[in-house]
Amino acid sequence: MEIRKGTIEEFESILSFYYELIDSFDELEYRPAWQKDIYPSASFIMHALESGNLSVAIIDGQVVGSVICDHFGNVEYSNVKWAVDAKDSEVMVLHALGVSKERMRHGIGKALVREVIRIAREKGCKAVRLDVLDGNLAAAKLYESVGFEPVCKMSLYYRTGWHDFVLYEYVL
């Protein structure tokens, strides 16, 4: 498995990866609130590629996982009592972590999360933060296994509507 930055030339295959992932949600025990063309949107993916903020996991030339990380959390993140007091530029926020259904539970998600942590350290960040839909036990277990700590529960608004989330932080 190769983990690396995605390229603009891979946009169509990365977008197809996310669409196929969303299509597979009906078969999963827990269904995230992602929707085609809403989250993650094509423009969000393209912006992440253009900014160098999207990493992919590749096996046999195929995208089998993807994650986006940047310095932009939900507006409500500013109201949270985080373990680390830091400016937005000192925090990496993890978004849109996905692993193809056929490759789940093979360590790909964990490898992508560790890549985000590596990038955050390289950029001199103080912490990595994220939010998980409340009830998404598989995602919570993954993040906690890497060392993320739950900070609080709160309702957040994203393009898919208002949902309850658990917010996590990994202190660097």
2-171: which CATH topology?
Aminopeptidase (3.40.630)
Query: How does pLDDT run across 108-133, given as a tens digit for each residue?
Result: 999 999 999 999 999 999 999 999 99
In 20-38, which positions are buried (b, 16+ CB within 10 angstroms) versus exposed (e)? ebbeeeeeeeeebebeeee
133 pairs with which residues across the strands? 165
Residue 54 · residue 66 · CB < 8 Å: yes
In the predicted model, residues of the chain with pLDDT beneath 50 are none
Q: What pLDDT does residue 25 have?
A: 80
Q: Which pTM value belongs to this model?
A: 0.94
In whole angstroms, what is the distance from residue 53 CA to residue 5 CA? 7
